[in-house]
Each structure stands twice: as structure tokens, then as C-alpha cells.
Amino acid sequence: MPELPWRLEKRASPSRIMRVSAPVIAVLAMVATGFVLFALMGKDPVNALDLFFIQPLNTPYGWGELLLKATPLALCALGLAVSFRANVWNIGAEGQLTLGAICGGGVALFWGPQLGALALPATLLAGIVGGAAWAAIPALLRTRFNTSEILVSLMLVYIAQLLLAYLLHGAWRDPEGFNFPQSKAFDDALILPLIMQGQRATIAFPLMLGLAGLSWVFSSRLFVGYRMRVSGDAPAAAAYAGFSETRSVWLALLIGGGAAGLAGICEVAGPIGRLQSDISPGYGFAAIIVAIVGRLQPAGILLAALLMSLLYLGGESVQLGLQLPAAVTGLFQGLLLFYLLAADLFVGFRLRRVADPAVLPA
């Protein structure tokens, strides 16, 4: 390989400045790429970026949409962050979200009227239990049969989506719904109240903020959170200290699944108002990016979720305004994660100029 005048050199200790600034650099690089991309597509890039990042937030309704879409993203990502910190790679949040919607939706549809005032809490609880139960499958298979939680949790996404489609084409279909694959609308009493009139964000948002606080306490103040972090960072040390890996894997997946399940039921018992076949534009997958870009920390995750939510709004905005495909959202999401992973290099390494590469040992 040709010698370059620059060399990567390991830092004595990871740079704290870079740890904080890498996500900012990644966002700037993403916006710059967007500028080039829009220009290449023959649009005025300044106008397009304005339409993508600024216009969606010009109205109170837009801010409501921002909080609305940030809520499931942050909920899933908070749960995933607990997992990732324990080095448990749950990538099936999308499936756990779907099961949360199915279980919570089942309670709302079939027992809603009988439960009276308890109906809404029972619906939310069923959502959490459904998501956690779906995540219990990879937990059981990993701890009992040594099977990769990455592949199992991902396969379960497809199975969950097919299960939802099966229910909506059969037993749960609204008989008066003109054969659309959707359930009856939930009772009004089972829909989460709005934060404010004139927008669509529900009380799921403050609920999520409370859980973000709880997750900080769990990870930074409780011994169980500490044990899970050690299991993730240094499995050998954790084993030596007698921390159970099995317990850590189970907790990581149950918490991640429960949070994703809550996100799912808050969507169907919120802005959607019924079960239907498309309940999420990939929130569970985008949450992986939110968790990593947010540095697995609650505050970072909240910011990253707002940004990711804005990417969804921006995609819709340029679709309406410039007839660009809304799928530009997915492209930006992927780019953001790539740029972050690249920028992260400089947390542990730095570039050093080499006067004469030839004298360096190879």
C-alpha cells in the first residue's frame, strides 16, 4: 500500500471533545450531502434544505408532529440503548413494536368496554407485555440455546408483521370496513389524550420523557444497571465478579421489548386509533440509529429522536413541495449513521502528519 503523509495514531485516552462533537459533525456532513444530492437532482439546494429542515417546524402543528414522531423513536431507542450497553444486539424492535400494538390493540378491541376506567392503563400494559414477550423469544434462545439474538430478533420482525396481517385479514377485521385490512376504530376512551388542541402529539410524549429519566436512574444510579454495563464492556470481568450474563441478557431484551411494545400501542391508541397493516414507517429500525447517534445516553437519545423525527417530516415536506421521493428519509438516516461511525474514529485515534513516511516502521 502507498504510504500517506498522514498517519492514524491511537490516542492515549479517548477524546471527550470528539465524543460530543462526532454526532454534530455527522449531522453537518449529512446536511452537506443533502445539499449536493438536491443540487444533483436539479433542485435549488438552499430551497430544498429549507423545505426539508425548516419549513416543517413553521407551525405549532408542525412542532406537534415533531414530538409525535419523536416519541416512538425515543421509546424504542431508550430500550435498545439498555440492550446495546450490555452488548446485546436486539435489532428486532420493529417486531416488538408490532406485537405491542397487537396485544394492546386486542385488549382495547375485545375488553375495552368492560374494563371502564381501567381500560386505557390495561391497554398500555398489554402493549408493554406483548413487546416484552416477543423479545423473550430471542432472550430464551440466546441464554438457553446459545443462538444469536441478532438473527432471531430480526426474523421475528417478519413473523410479527405477518401475524398482524393475518389477524387483520381474518378474525380482527372490521366487518364494516369495506374489506380493508384494518380493525374497528378504538373507543374514544381508549385513545391517548392530546397534549394540546390543534396538533396530534399525545401524552405519550411526557410519558416517554419520564421513562427517559427512569432509564438514566437505571443505568447510572442502580447496581443492576452497572452490572449490565460491565457484562457488555468486559464479559470476563463480569463473570469473575459473579455477575450473571443470563440475567443481563434477559433484562436487556425484556426492557427493550417492553419499551418498543409501549411505542407500538401508543401509536395505535394514539394518532392511528385502530389496528391496521402499516403501523410504523420503520421506527424500530430507525431507533437503532437514534440509540447509536444518541450515544446510548437518555439526553442524547432525546435529541437524536427529535432529529430523526425531523427527517421523517422533511421527507414528507420535499415530497409535497418538490415531488421528491419521501424515501429520501431512509437515505439520510443511513448516511447519518455512516458519518457518525466514521467520525467516531477520531474519538480513539488522531491524525498525525508524518514528515518522511519512509523512516517509520511499517
Partner 1 sequence: MNADVYLSILTGTVVSATPLIYAALGELVVERAGVLNLGVEGMMIVGALAAFAVGVASGSLMVGYLAAIGASMLLALLFAVLTVTLQANQVATGLALTLFGLGLSAFAGRRFAGLPIEGIGALPLPWLRDLPVVGPLLFRFDAAVYGSIALYVLVDWVLSRTRVGLLLRAVGESPAIAHALGQPVTQTRYLAVLFGGAASGVGGAYLSTALTPMWVEGMSAGRGWIALALVVFATWKPLRILMGAYLFGGVTILQLHAQGLGLHIPSEILSMLPYAATIMVLVVICRDPKIILLNQPASLGRSFHPDA
CA atoms within 13 A on the CB side of 183: 29
Please report how close the Cβ of residue 169 comes to partner 1 at its closest, in angstroms: 7
Please report how close the Cβ of residue 30 comes to partner 1 at its closest, in angstroms: 12
Integer angstrom CA distances of residue 337 from 53, 161, 270, 294, 334:
18, 25, 29, 11, 5
Please report how close the Cβ of residue 177 comes to partner 1 at its closest, in angstroms: 18
Please report how close the Cβ of residue 44 comes to partner 1 at its closest, in angstroms: 19
Return d(Cα 162, Cα 280) in angstroms, integer. 14
Which residues are CB-contacts of 292 (< 8 A; sequence separation ≥ 6)? Answer: 84, 337, 340
Integer angstrom CA distances of residue 324 from 35, 38, 220, 320:
14, 9, 43, 8
Please report how close the Cβ of residue 152 comes to partner 1 at its closest, in angstroms: 5
- Other residues' Cβ atoms within 10 Å of the Cβ of residue 200: 15
CA nearest to 185, candidates 99, 112, 274: 274
Residue among 35 and 338 whose Cβ is closer to partner 1 = 338
Please report how close the Cβ of residue 108 comes to partner 1 at its closest, in angstroms: 22
Residue among 63 and 147 whose Cβ is closer to partner 1 = 147
- Other residues' Cβ atoms within 10 Å of the Cβ of residue 143: 18
Residue among 62 and 281 whose Cβ is closer to partner 1 = 281
Residue among 219 and 329 whose Cβ is closer to partner 1 = 329
Please report how close the Cβ of residue 338 comes to partner 1 at its closest, in angstroms: 5
Q: Could you give the residue ranges of the DSSP H alpha helices within the chain?
A: 16-40, 45-49, 60-85, 93-110, 112-115, 119-145, 149-169, 204-221, 223-233, 235-240, 245-267, 283-293, 298-322, 328-348
Which residues are CB-contacts of 276 (< 8 A; sequence separation ≥ 6)? Answer: 168, 180, 181, 182, 183
Return d(Cα 79, Cα 50) in angstroms, integer. 33
Residue among 169 and 217 whose Cβ is closer to partner 1 = 169
Please report how close the Cβ of residue 102 comes to partner 1 at its closest, in angstroms: 13
Please report how close the Cβ of residue 132 comes to partner 1 at its closest, in angstroms: 18
Residue among 24 and 341 whose Cβ is closer to partner 1 = 341
Residue among 146 and 197 whose Cβ is closer to partner 1 = 146
| Residue 63 one-letter amino acid | W
What is the Cα gyration radius of the chain?
Answer: 22
Residues contributing to the site for partner 1 (CB under 8 A): 1, 8, 10, 89, 91, 141, 144-148, 150-152, 154-156, 158-159, 162-163, 165-166, 169-170, 285-286, 288-289, 292, 325, 327-335, 337-338, 341-342, 344-345, 348-349
Return d(Cα 178, Cα 184) in angstroms, integer. 11
Integer angstrom CA distances of residue 209 from 23, 127, 204, 295, 341:
21, 18, 9, 17, 27
Residue among 62 and 235 whose Cβ is closer to partner 1 = 235
Please report how close the Cβ of residue 84 comes to partner 1 at its closest, in angstroms: 9
Residue among 53 and 349 whose Cβ is closer to partner 1 = 349
C-alpha cell at 61: 402543528
Residue among 196 and 345 whose Cβ is closer to partner 1 = 345
Helix (H, G, I), strand (E, B) or coil at 43: coil
